[in-house]
Amino acid sequence: MNAPARLGLYGLILVAVFAVAGFTANAVIDEDTVQAWVEETPENHHAAEGDDGMSSGGHRGHVVDAAPLGLSLAQDGYQLTNVSAPSSTDSEGEISLIVSGPGGEPVTGFELDHEQEMHLITVRSDGQYFRHVHPERDEAGTWSIPWEWEAAGSYRVFADFVPEDTGEGMTLSTTLEVAGDYDPGPADELVTATTVNGFEVAVEGDLVAGSASELTMTITAGGEPVTALEPYLGAFGHLVALRHGDLAYLHVHPHGDAPEVGDTAGAEIVFEVTTPTEGRYLLYLDFQVDGEVHTAPLVIDTVAGGDGTSGDTGDGHGQNQHEGGDHHDH
């Protein structure tokens, strides 16, 4: 067979091979599947379609999903930078930080979230010495507030804010080491009731991992329900929930309409908490009476399901009660 004839035969064979391959591909992978691959986008962890990011009562809340927050220094181009604070318990100064934006420049535009542009939270790695404050921002974008540490240890610092450019809540964090004599106080026991500055605070409800759960905080004084809770940060109570171990920051939403100035409420405050995993969680309830803010620390575990158990001993006051407030400031 001469050369032209051989080339022509090879050409016919190649055409046949490609035709069979194309037929096989169409038979194994249907056209709809291929189109789905082409159009597939990365998983979206933000609000579902139609979700405006507002919790009940008109309060802006973090989008409810099972992903833990507050474990990263940076997110979506935003980052905590220039974080500084006193390095030991025997020195005074200020804690300061900058939120840099996607372009690397300090962010100066923030939306109000629970009546503040920035919620700064510090807590030691064992859950002790919780503080929730609101620093001030200068024109250059530096946030600062006078600061002195009560005790030594490793602290997680959370910055909770809403950038004006995105309108979406964000929680970034970093850690700071404080020199001094370290006396750990791990959360080894459940605390479903505690006393702070003369107020008794108890929590009822079940935390179910991976879903939103309702918790009811009841505040009494001298055994009688408190009837004059005052608005604090746009609600009758503000709750921070952290996962024990890594201090992941959780989704918490107050129920009810936002109160007006001068409104008061009774003894119960209902919150919705989304826990990403099973385990132990640290709760810090801020509430205001007679113009003074108090913080009640509590510790509860998740349950396997809505079986009515939340670590209670059956008396409505939980497994452990203790005096609170000594290690929790504003």
| pLDDT at residue 251, as a whole number | 80
**Together in a domain, 100 and 169:** yes
172 and 197 share one domain:
no
pLDDT at 60: 39
The residue among 205, 317, 199, 220 whose CA lies nearest residue 266 is: 220
How many domains are contained in the chain? 2
Q: Cβ(38)–Cβ(153) under 8 Å?
A: no
pLDDT in the model for residue 285: 97
Rounded average pLDDT over 92-120: 97
Residue 268 to residue 257: CA distance in whole angstroms: 14
Q: Which residue, chain included where needed, has tokens 């009688």? A: 224
Asked whether residue 219 is domain-assigned, the answer is yes
Q: Where does a domain end: 145, 178, 211?
A: 178
pLDDT at 253: 84
Q: What is the DSSP letter of 137?
A: E
* pLDDT over 80 at 310, yes or no: no
Q: What percent of the chain has pLDDT over 70?
A: 72
Q: What rounded mean pLDDT belongs to the chain? A: 80
pLDDT of residue 226: 97
Q: What is the pLDDT of residue 1?
A: 53
pLDDT tens by residue, 24-76: 334 333 444 333 333 333 333 333 333 333 333 334 333 344 467 899 999 99
In terms of C-beta distances under 8 Å and separation of at least 24 residues, what long-range contacts does 221-226 make, across chains too? 222/198, 225/266, 225/267, 226/199, 226/266, 226/267, 226/289
Give, as one character, the DSSP assignment of residue 275.
-
Would 291 be classed as within a structural domain? yes
**Does residue 146 contact residue 94 with C-beta atoms inside 8 Å?**
yes
User: CB of 175 within 8 A of CB of 154?
Assistant: yes
Phi, psi of 10 (to 5 degrees): -60, -40
pLDDT of residue 272: 96
Give the pairing of strands 130-133 and 118-124: antiparallel
Segment 162-187 shows an average pLDDT of 95
- Residue 329 burial (10 A CB sphere; 0-12, 13-18, 19+): middle
Give the pLDDT score at 15.
Answer: 40
Do 87 and 210 have their domain in common? no
Instruction: Evaluate if residue 78 carries a pLDDT over 50.
Output: yes
- Nearest residue to 301 via CA among 188, 202, 207: 207
Task: Check residue 94 and give its pLDDT.
Answer: 98
Q: Which of 178, 207, 236 is the last residue of a domain?
A: 178
Are 157 and 225 contained in the same domain? no
Q: Amino acid identity, residue 42?
A: P
Residues 95 and 167 in one domain: yes
Q: Are residues 100 and 198 in the same domain?
A: no
Give yes or no for a contact between 328 and 287, defined as CB atoms under 8 angstroms apart.
no
Residues 73 and 137 in one domain: yes
Does the predicted TM-score (pTM) go above 0.85?
Answer: no
Residue 113: domain span: 56-178
Q: What is the pLDDT of residue 305?
A: 61
Same domain, 222 and 169: no
Note the pLDDT of residue 261: 87
pLDDT tens for 219-232 read 999 999 999 999 99
pLDDT at residue 237, as a whole number: 95
pLDDT, greater one: 12 or 278: 278
- Is residue 42 one of the residues assigned to a domain? no
264 lies in some domain? yes
Within this chain, do residues 100 and 154 fall inside the same structural domain, yes or no? yes
Average pLDDT of the segment spanning 288-296? 97
Last residue of a domain, one of 127, 145, 178: 178
The helix/strand/coil state of 105 is coil
Q: Between 294 and 12, where is the model more confident?
A: 294
- pLDDT greater than 80 at residue 314: no
Query: From residue 57, how far is each of 60, 167, 254 by CA, in Å?
Result: 9, 18, 8
pLDDT at 306: 46
Distance, CA of 49 to CA of 39 (rounded, Å): 18
CATH of the domain at 69: 2.60.40.10
Distance CA 217, CA 286 (A): 11
Q: Give the SS3 label for residue 307.
A: coil
Judgement on whether residues 139 and 257 belong to the same structural domain of the protein: no
For residue 15, being part of any structural domain is answered with: no
128, 63: one domain: yes
What value does the mean pLDDT take over residues 176-180? 96
